[in-house]
Amino acid sequence: MSPLRRKRLAKIGLLLAGVALAVGLMIMAFQQNMMFFFSTTEVVAGKAPLERDFRVGGMVVEQSVERDPNSLLVQFTLTDYQTLLQVEYSGILPDLFREGQGIVAKGRLNEQGVFVATEVLAKHDENYMPPEVAQSLKPQESAN
Segment 11-64, tens digit of pLDDT: 999 999 999 999 988 888 777 666 788 889 999 998 888 888 899 988 999 999
Cα dihedral: 122, 33, 80, 72 (round 10)? -50
- Whether residues 105 and 119 share a domain: the answer is yes
Pair 27, 74 in one domain: no
For residues 9 and 43, membership in a common domain is answered with no
First to last CA, the chain: 76
| 99 and 124 inside one domain | yes
Whole-number Å distance between alpha carbons of 144 and 142? 6
Confidence of residue 125 (pLDDT cuts 50, 70, 90): low
Same domain, 43 and 110: yes
C-alpha dist (Å) from residue 53 to 1, 104, 129: 54, 13, 22
Same domain, 87 and 116: yes
Host domain of residue 28: 1-34
> What are 61-98's pLDDT values in tens digits?
999 999 999 999 999 999 988 999 999 999 999 888 88
Confidence at residue 139, expressed as pLDDT on a 0 to 100 scale: 60
Q: Are residues 97 and 139 in the same domain?
A: yes
Strand bridging mode 66-67 / 102-109: unpaired
pLDDT of residue 133: 66
Q: How many domains does the chain have?
A: 2
State whether 64 and 123 are in the same domain.
Answer: yes
Same domain, 6 and 59: no
Higher pLDDT among residues 1 and 8, named by residue: 8
Same domain, 113 and 75: yes
The CATH number assigned to the domain holding 93 equals 2.40.50.140
26 plus 41 within the same structural domain: no
Instruction: Give the single-character DSSP code of 64.
Output: -
Pair 76, 139 in one domain? yes
